[in-house]
Structure 1
Amino acid sequence: MSSDKEVVGCARRVPRLVIRTSGTPKTPRDGDVHVGSIWNDAPCPVLVVDADGDVIGSNEGARRLFAHAEEVGEGLTAGGLPHWLARAHHRPHPAAAPQEAVSGTVAGRTFAAHPSRIENGDVVWWLVEDTDLRRAEQELRHERERAALLADVSGALLSSLNLERCAEVTARMAADHLADAAVVVAPAQGRRHALTYAQGGGGITRTVASIDPRTVPGLAEALQGFPPVPARWIDPDDIPDWSVPPGFAGPIGSVIVTPLPGHGVPAGVLILLRASTHRAFTDGEEVFARLFAARAGAALSAARLYAEQASITTTLLRELLPPRLERVHGVEYAGVYRTSQDHERVGGDFYDVHPGADASRETFVVLGDVAGKGLEAAVLTGKIRSVLHALLPLSGDHQQVLVLLNDALMNSHHTRFATLVLASVRRSAGQVLLRLTSAGHLPPLIVRADGRVEEAATGGTLVGALPDVRTRSVDVVLAPGETCLLYTDGITEARGGPLGDDFYGEERLREALRECARMPAEAVVERVQMLAAQWLGGGRHDDMATLAITNPAGGVDGFAVADDREGREPCRREP
């Protein structure tokens, strides 16, 4: 008795295949095709394998394929099957269940083998080639891995604007993912270059050395931003010792030298090294190394730019920040400055103390408030402070100093004005003698030793707004334990309180100062600033500056000074 089985082909265009296994041939039905012609017309190699794993039939495509496999020396089983296909053929499986497809290589090409079981136990294997598909999938995986690596590189590098840290991250990630070792060569500083070494899975080494870039092919050009030379042009035997990380194991087999492009100027050069025991860099790896270098160069350039700007900012701030105040010629000075924005360090308020050459010379003190806030106001304060510093030889004449400063501001491109209060300070016979002049500024407050608070009767016009400056000066005497407080309107106009919309005001300031009698200068300014900050709460505010001039209550240099209130002179005005 005969039995028939339809075998599904490897493509839609394969007709229905009928394999007769025993008995008398059955009358063909419409669509049945002779076995031999089916195999020869199949678009893929076809094998018929019996239960013992022997090939008992094949088409022309399979014969050519396996003949080539034998030519290239690929091992086959005694039955003529590749080993991966023989293992799949002998794998136990339920008779009623379809056998699963398997994959493997034949003659350097990959195939998916689809089985069709025949009733007598033989199996027809249809070998569908998927070499290009697998190659495309592999390339896609590689590209995804490279894209993920570049994303990781960007994230790691941009997480820090520290130049040394960026160089270390660049060298480490390059050594871990691109090569066996990496060297980052920074642009020259004079005749020296900063070098950052890394090995895969190892530590980071940094050094600064005098090197000759011409000793590495393409390095001198890369440092100037020229395109890299191909790796095949570089002889590893010509690489100098300084370009190899300390302790690098094994001779060098392949080298890549690629620039680290920056913003307008090169950010350095990346050297990748691979040991001779590993394969050489491929063209694809060279291209990817350039992509890596582009990301790293952008981050290094940003870090370098930030470092330069930070250095410039530090230099400028050194001149713009208020000075540190202390005791000068037996007189205490203390100041506190708070900008309108907590994240800023400079603004429109300022103060300076210029000590006299000796105790017999007057110390020149200035506190001012420039219209506006932020950096623009700070620039003008810097100019005013520079002009006043140049006018120190004339500091004994407040009117002349203010006139000359006003002329300088009127001839400037700045359109802002400023208010100031000047003080000339001298100690004599246990007392502190002050000459105070206000130019449109709030008058200073005098805190007497008994807690009384007086307002210095000085006034005048602001500077930088009108052609003429008119002022009125006043002399003040401070007995031991008394303080003269200079302050800006950021204190009195601090808006807050229970309802959040009230000014701190002069009355509250005077009340606070009554409790500051006989306090050190630093304690006075700290208390005023603390009370103003508490009044503000979390509200917005203007720049706030306070400066205290105090005659110490305990005397000078450890000697007590008598508190002679009866002999104290009152404030008197200059005509």
Structure 2
Amino acid sequence: MNAPLGAPDTAAPALVQLLDHLDEGVLLCDDAGIVLYRNPAAARRLPAVAVGGSMPDDLRGRRVELGAGQVAWYLQRASDRASEQANDHATFLAATARRLGGMLNADRVCRATVELAVSSLAGAALLVLPTRRGRARCWHAAGSAPVRQDQVALAALPAAVQDTLDGNPVAQPFLWPGGTPFLGGEATPAAWVVPILAAGAPAAALVVTEVGDLALLEDFAARVGAALEAAQLYAAQSRVAATLQESLLPEPPAPVAGLNWGTAYRPARSTMHIGGDFYGAHPIAGGAMFFLGDVSGKGVDAAVLTGQVRHSLRALRRIEEDPQRLLHVLNDMLLEGVSDGRFATMVLGTAQPRPGGGIRLTLAGGGHLPPLVLRADGTVETVALRGMLVGVTDEPVFGRRSLHLAPGETCLLFTDGVTEARGGHRGAEMYGLRRLTTALAGCAAMPAPALAERVEQLAMDWLGGREHDDIAVFAVRAEPVRTSPRHLHSVHQAATVTVS
């Protein structure tokens, strides 16, 4: 037994007896770090530490200043150290999950992975994410340096890294021959490569140096894999959604001689870019078929039905050009193909340019708002076009009207997102057909594209930034008759010559 050095003789026996019976290890050291005393518990836990020797640099415990140049260290029990280490690991992994869990971008996940690794797990880190054609993107950092991103050929990576990317599911140590700038520039760095698994297969490889705890590194890699899998799944779903969304967007009307088209479209949810309103125009013999409508519901389900209606009309126009009969065929198709009770309202028409100018319109109504006609003299007429909803009953009645547009006159179709836009002083008053008709009185000279945009803007101004339904506007205008420009011809007169 070693008595504390420098302790009063009268107190030493009692102090030694007290310390010797403690289950907690105690070391007494001087300011220079020389061990003056150790109790039996400390001797069992630190057999390599002797009185008169130096205190370990990595000593863990509670430090107490005793004065007179002496310091007491109360050592942690092995179970306490293990518990503290486990808590530290759990805290780090929880922080990793929180940081990576909110990321749905693979690049951001990879960058954050390297930042977390070099801050808490390793001296340097490199994450390799294969792309295509034997290439890979990599994120790397060493120490406190910022994360950098580069591209690398997979064939240039060490065999251990390639093996991990090819399917090796376990971590393995290796030497990077010839050195690498990715891991701090050492000549031949010793490293570990750990697979990052996504959907059960290696999606990336994490290379680290100076690993302190391999088990913690593997748990960390598992959380990175879960975050990377979520980001890649989100990216794949986004690509599918974007492709489908593009196919569901309204198509610009095909150009037809003698007709001037105008369209405007604003879905209720601007982030989706699609909704339940639809329009279109396709050439037919002697002119064009055009339509505008609205399906019940909102969002993706409504957009899918609008796509079905548009594609059906594209095909059906080749076997039936009469608008009223075409609505009956479309009605039968909706009754057979739609099982959730959805229906549509629409106006379907044909436009046939006349040899002397103007166009002949034939309109069929399926429960939609009546069209408006802007005459050349500035008057606005409401077309009395009635009809039942499309896709509700197997014996529908659809209205039919024919009219003539003189050159420069326009027929305007619109959905209820315009007339039912709520605004005003309290934000609850609908825009209404009367306001729209009044506003259009001065728009007769507008080309069809400008008129459609004007109607959309009227509705948006009335809304004042509030939520709204899908808005669609479709205008067909008879092209004004173009007259040949007048030319001024100079008349040459014979000059009079006077001879003197």
Q: CA deviation at 1:461?
A: 2.6
**Separation in structure 1 between the aligned mates of residue 27 and residue 113 of structure 2, nearest angstrom:** 53
Q: Structure 2 vs 1, CA of residues 293 and 408 (structure 1 numbering), >3 Å: closer, same or farther?
A: same
The answer as to 2:246 corresponding to 1:321 is: no
SS at match of 1:372: coil
Alpha-carbon contact 1:187-1:223 (below 8 Å) kept: no
Alpha-carbon contact 2:124-2:183 (below 8 Å) kept: no
Structure 2 counterpart of 1:268: 203
Q: Provide Cα deviations, 1:14-45, integer angstroms capped at 9, x if missing partner.
A: xx9764xxxxxxxxxxxxx9x7x658746359
Structure 2 counterpart of 1:163: 106
The percent identity for this pair of structures is 32
> Which of residues 138, 148, 155 in structure 2 aligns to 1:196?
138
**Separation in structure 1 between the aligned mates of residue 162 and residue 332 of structure 2, nearest angstrom:** 59
Q: Provide Cα deviations, 1:133-157, integer angstroms capped at 9, x if missing partner.
A: 699579848964x666556644554
Alpha-carbon contact 1:481-1:552 (below 8 Å) kept: yes
Structure 2 counterpart of 1:94: none
Q: CA deviation at 1:410?
A: 0.9
> Which of residues 199, 211, 224 in structure 2 aligns to 1:281?
211
Q: CA deviation at 1:207?
A: 2.8
Alpha-carbon contact 2:275-2:302 (below 8 Å) kept: yes
Letter of the 2:378 partner, please give it.
G
Q: CA deviation at 1:322?
A: 1.8
SS at match of 2:273: coil
Q: CA deviation at 1:179?
A: 3.4
> Which of residues 417, 425, 430 in structure 1 aligns to 2:351?
425
The answer as to 2:410 corresponding to 1:410 is: no
The answer as to 2:312 corresponding to 1:382 is: no
Q: CA deviation at 1:311?
A: 0.7
Alpha-carbon contact 1:183-1:195 (below 8 Å) kept: no
Structure 2 counterpart of 1:236: 175
Alpha-carbon contact 1:495-1:536 (below 8 Å) kept: yes
TM-score, structure 2 normalization? 0.77
> Which of residues 385, 389, 392 in structure 2 aligns to 1:462?
389
Alpha-carbon contact 1:421-1:436 (below 8 Å) kept: yes
Unmatched 5+ stretches in structure 1? 1-8, 11-15, 20-32, 75-79, 84-103, 118-122, 275-279, 562-575
1:2-17 alignment runs, 5 A limit: none
Q: Structure 2 vs 1, CA of residues 46 and 407 (structure 1 numbering), >3 Å: closer, same or farther?
A: closer
Letter of the 1:260 partner, please give it.
I
Q: Structure 2 vs 1, CA of residues 395 and 332 (structure 1 numbering), >3 Å: closer, same or farther?
A: farther
Q: Provide Cα deviations, 1:210-255, integer angstroms capped at 9, x if missing partner.
A: 55999327944x765x7423x4xx3325x799xx556861234432
Q: CA deviation at 1:522?
A: 2.1
Q: CA deviation at 1:178?
A: 3.3
The answer as to 2:407 corresponding to 1:473 is: no
> Which of residues 177, 183, 186 in structure 2 aligns to 1:250?
186
Q: Structure 2 vs 1, CA of residues 294 and 173 (structure 1 numbering), >3 Å: closer, same or farther?
A: same
The answer as to 2:104 corresponding to 1:179 is: no
> Which of residues 351, 365, 371 in structure 1 aligns to 2:290?
365
1:10-409 alignment runs, 5 A limit: 19=10, 41=17, 43-44=19-20, 130-132=74-76, 140=84, 144=88, 150=93, 153-154=96-97, 156-158=99-101, 160-175=103-118, 177-186=120-129, 192=134, 194-200=136-142, 201=145, 203-207=147-151, 209=153, 211=155, 215-216=159-160, 219-220=163-164, 224=167, 227-229=169-171, 231=172, 234-236=173-175, 249-262=185-198, 264-266=199-201, 268-274=203-209, 280-282=210-212, 284=213, 286-325=214-253, 328-356=256-284, 361-409=286-334
Q: Provide Cα deviations, 1:162-190, integer angstroms capped at 9, x if missing partner.
A: 2223223323443454334433333675x
Structure 2 counterpart of 1:494: 421
Q: Structure 2 vs 1, CA of residues 164 and 443 (structure 1 numbering), >3 Å: closer, same or farther?
A: same
Letter of the 1:421 partner, please give it.
V
TM-score, structure 1 normalization? 0.68
Letter of the 1:163 partner, please give it.
A
Alpha-carbon contact 1:176-1:199 (below 8 Å) kept: no
After TM superposition, the structure 1 stretch with the greater mean CA deviation from structure 2, 246-255 or 504-513, is 246-255
Q: Structure 2 vs 1, CA of residues 454 and 40 (structure 1 numbering), >3 Å: closer, same or farther?
A: closer
Alpha-carbon contact 1:183-1:272 (below 8 Å) kept: yes
Coordinate RMSD, CA, aligned: 4.5
After TM superposition, the structure 1 stretch with the greater mean CA deviation from structure 2, 106-115 or 453-462, is 106-115
Alpha-carbon contact 1:322-1:350 (below 8 Å) kept: yes
Q: Provide Cα deviations, 1:396-432, integer angstroms capped at 9, x if missing partner.
A: 2223322221121111224111111112223334323
Alpha-carbon contact 2:378-2:443 (below 8 Å) kept: yes
Letter of the 1:416 partner, please give it.
R
How many residues align structurally? 467
After TM superposition, the structure 1 stretch with the greater mean CA deviation from structure 2, 398-407 or 529-538, is 529-538
Structure 2 counterpart of 1:101: none
SS at match of 2:395: coil
Structure 1 counterpart of 2:363: 436
Structure 1 counterpart of 2:461: 534
Alpha-carbon contact 1:257-1:269 (below 8 Å) kept: no
**Separation in structure 2 between the aligned mates of residue 254 and residue 213 of structure 1, nearest angstrom:** 14
Q: CA deviation at 1:312?
A: 0.9
**Separation in structure 2 between the aligned mates of residue 211 and residue 252 of structure 1, nearest angstrom:** 18
**Separation in structure 2 between the aligned mates of residue 427 and residue 378 of structure 1, nearest angstrom:** 32
Alpha-carbon contact 2:254-2:281 (below 8 Å) kept: no
**Separation in structure 2 between the aligned mates of residue 512 and residue 551 of structure 1, nearest angstrom:** 21
Q: Structure 2 vs 1, CA of residues 560 and 427 (structure 1 numbering), >3 Å: closer, same or farther?
A: farther
**Separation in structure 1 between the aligned mates of residue 56 and residue 107 of structure 2, nearest angstrom:** 49
Q: CA deviation at 1:381?
A: 1.0
Q: Structure 2 vs 1, CA of residues 303 and 328 (structure 1 numbering), >3 Å: closer, same or farther?
A: farther
Alpha-carbon contact 2:140-2:149 (below 8 Å) kept: yes
Q: Provide Cα deviations, 1:336-365, integer angstroms capped at 9, x if missing partner.
A: 222334444222111112245xxx742221
**Separation in structure 2 between the aligned mates of residue 109 and residue 462 of structure 1, nearest angstrom:** 80
Letter of the 1:387 partner, please give it.
S
Unmatched 5+ stretches in structure 2? 21-25, 487-500
**Separation in structure 2 between the aligned mates of residue 194 and residue 539 of structure 1, nearest angstrom:** 47
Q: CA deviation at 1:519?
A: 0.7
**Separation in structure 1 between the aligned mates of residue 72 and residue 156 of structure 2, nearest angstrom:** 58
Alpha-carbon contact 1:333-1:550 (below 8 Å) kept: yes
Alpha-carbon contact 2:178-2:188 (below 8 Å) kept: no
Q: Provide Cα deviations, 1:241-300, integer angstroms capped at 9, x if missing partner.
A: 9xx5568612344322223244x44462332232xxxxx534x2x122223223322222
